[in-house]
Amino acid sequence: MIFNTWTFGIFLLVFFSIYWCVLKPERRAIGLIIGSIIFYTSYFPAYTPLIIGLSLFVYASGLLIEKFRTEHPTSGFKNAFVILWLSITACVLVLGYFKYLKLIVSTINDIFTLSSLNKSFAIPQILVPLGLSFFIFEFIHYLVDCYHGRIKKPTIVEFLTFAMFFPTLVSGPIKRFQPFVKQLREPLQFKTEFLTYGTKRIIIGLAKKILIADLIGCYALPLITFSKNPDISVLTLWLTVYAYAIKIYFDFSGYSDIAIGCARLFGFEVPENFNKPYIQQNIGAFWHCWHMSLSSWLRDYIYMPIGQKLMPSIGRKSPLMLVAICQLITMGICGLWHGAYWNFVIWGLYHGMGLTIHKAYSDINMKIKRQKILTGKSRLLFDDNSRLRIAVDNIFLKSFYTLLTFHFVCVGWVFFVLNINDASRVIGKMLFISNM
């Protein structure tokens, strides 16, 4: 079931009525599990056992991790660490098989071709389970937090409700177990606000998706089909890139609004995902406001662990190099998470490079400001003309930074849409680097 279909609308209406009017408070969690199974099965029934089986595996792994941590104080953390990595590896292998096997095989074939080896493998045609990337990331979060003692002996019903919660199963937001289960453990009576706010967010999401993203999507077609018509003008390319930037924002934020609204209908609050990302003044602020649940997940479970691991060997000698390594690895994974093609990795590395450059610029700017303060060159001006000049300068500077960040993001979308060769040609043409 897809959110913007009549089938989902009927399902949501029927299940909402049953949830609040028929089910007793203590049975609503089980009701959510059953409803989510129905929702998931309607898409592709063969994969329902996969998500149920994987959920049970992760839950059992979490219990084992908790058991070793508490019952075996001498060797517990070592054994828990082994279980943690075995279970995370299993989750990643499932994700890799369904989503990235095609990429791996095609890359091996390309290597054989470049090496003049007369050998190739058949490209597997595998349907990716609905929402696989989202619930794998939630599972990894759950396992890591079990290892660190942040999660204490949840019931199987609580975990399955978290794992299979249908409003966030398809396209996020990526939720965390602790705030979710806290809400689950507090039996709620129906409130009018659940219906009014939830419906409002769903309508906003549908409007974003249908009235803006879908309609403006046709103007992005010249970019998407660039290989078929490479002679389009530079102006047309820029306009199509702008159209795609608008389309992808309203498409994705629309789905997030629908998910947040659906969750609220059943009394749950899930993380916000977007907060005016295109009007931010630097790429760091952009990523704090774009797909926020993913950004925070990458920070907590990729960026920070890598930084802590490399700090003794690299961080003390070269902090900027540490930032660069962490950013490039994190954003490379971010790109690969979005799609099983190398252009997504390039898109992620492009943003990682931008984040590193912004960090270096911020550090230099901070040093200059500190130096001015220390040498007494920085002073406050209190007359009206000075205040006005400073205010005008700030407006122009903020506008310039906002436009620069927006266009940096827009250029990145070209890598997101096209293969590496076509993306390079388009960007070269847009920036007047080449006439191809």
> Is 390 inside any structural domain?
yes
The number of CA neighbours under 13 Å toward the Cβ of 157 is: 10
Residue type, 145: D
Report pLDDT for 90: 96
pLDDT for 384 equals 55
User: Of residues 187 and 377, which shows the higher confidence score?
Assistant: 187
Residues 195 and 291 in one domain: no
Residue finishing a domain among 274, 304, 327: 274
Could you say which of 233, 255, 274 is where a domain stops?
274
Q: Is residue 436 part of a domain?
A: no
Pair 113, 197 in one domain: no
Q: Does 76 fall in a domain?
A: yes
Inside any domain, residue 435: no
Local structure of 318: helix, strand or coil: coil
pLDDT for the residue numbered 402: 95
- For residues 303 and 234, membership in a common domain is answered with no
Instruction: Examine the domain organization and report whether 141 and 106 are in the same domain.
Output: yes
pLDDT at 337: 95
**pLDDT digits 0-9 by tens, 35-73:** 999 999 988 888 999 999 999 999 999 999 988 888 766
Can you say whether residue 187 is alpha, beta or left, with left for phi > 0 and alpha for psi between -120 and 50 degrees? Answer: beta
Q: Which of 245, 274, 303 is the last residue of a domain?
A: 274
User: Are residues 259 and 324 part of one domain?
Assistant: no
Number of domains in the chain: 3
> Does residue 263 lie within any of the structural domains?
yes
Assess whether 225 and 204 both reside in one domain.
yes
Are 308 and 326 members of one domain?
A: yes
Residues 194, 175 share a domain? no
Contacts of 144 (CB under 8 A, 6+ apart): 84, 88, 301
Model confidence at 377: pLDDT above 60? no
Quick one: 142 and 193 in the same domain? Answer: no
CA distance linking residue 85 with residue 90, whole number of Å: 8
Q: Which parts of 96-165 fold into alpha helices (H)?
A: 101-114, 132-147, 156-164
250 and 304: one domain?
Answer: no
User: Do 204 and 165 fall within a single domain?
Assistant: no
Confidence of residue 227 (pLDDT cuts 50, 70, 90): confident
Whether residues 108 and 235 share a domain: the answer is: no
Determine the structural domain holding residue 141 and report its residue range.
1-187
